[in-house]
Amino acid sequence: MDLQRQATFRKQAWLDYTGVTALLLIAVAVPVLSFLEAARPIGEPLGVWFQRSGAITTVFSMFAAALIKVLVARLHVPGTWGDDDGCAVLDQFKARLDVANKTSFVLIVVGTIVWGYGDVIINNLLAM
């Protein structure tokens, strides 16, 4: 085990994981920000603007899921014995990556539902 090599793998993994986290935060923030009057164009109904935010949520969540795959592929190439240093770092990140992967899946589903039915959901909630 080469500690210098592990440190290099760990640094890259943290950079990738920070990117994943940023993408997921954007995916969550956009639908919330769609409710702000200042973020909505004049004359745009709230329901339609919320519906559009679902597309952004879906896309950013898919980018996060893809970046997770890139991170894992950098640390361990499937079909090979693997690099001991990369696998050691992957083991350290496994729990975080599992949570991020599940979060991205949920956000993809929620974003798709909002994208398709966001205006209906908001209009029905406002009619109550």
pLDDT digits (tens, 9 = 90+) for 101-115: 999 999 999 999 999
Position with higher pLDDT, 79 vs 99: 99
Tokens of 46: 């709230």
Terminal-residue alpha carbon distance, the chain = 63
pLDDT at 16: 95
Domain with 63, as residue range(s), is 3-127
Both tokens assigned to 122: 């908001």
pLDDT of residue 19: 97
With bands split at pLDDT 50, 70 and 90, how would you rate the model's confidence at 80?
A: low
Selection from 67, 45, 64, 46 nearest residue 56 by Cα: 64
For residue 78, give the 3-state DSSP assignment.
Answer: coil
- Give the number of domains in the chain: 1
Give mean pLDDT, residues 73-95: 82
Q: Each residue of 36-55: pLDDT tens digit?
A: 988 888 888 999 999 999 99
Give the pLDDT of residue 37. Answer: 87
Between 88 and 67, the higher pLDDT residue: 67
Among 1-15, 21-35, 41-55, the range scoring the smallest mean pLDDT is: 1-15
Residue-level pLDDT at 56: 97
pTM score, two decimals?
A: 0.88
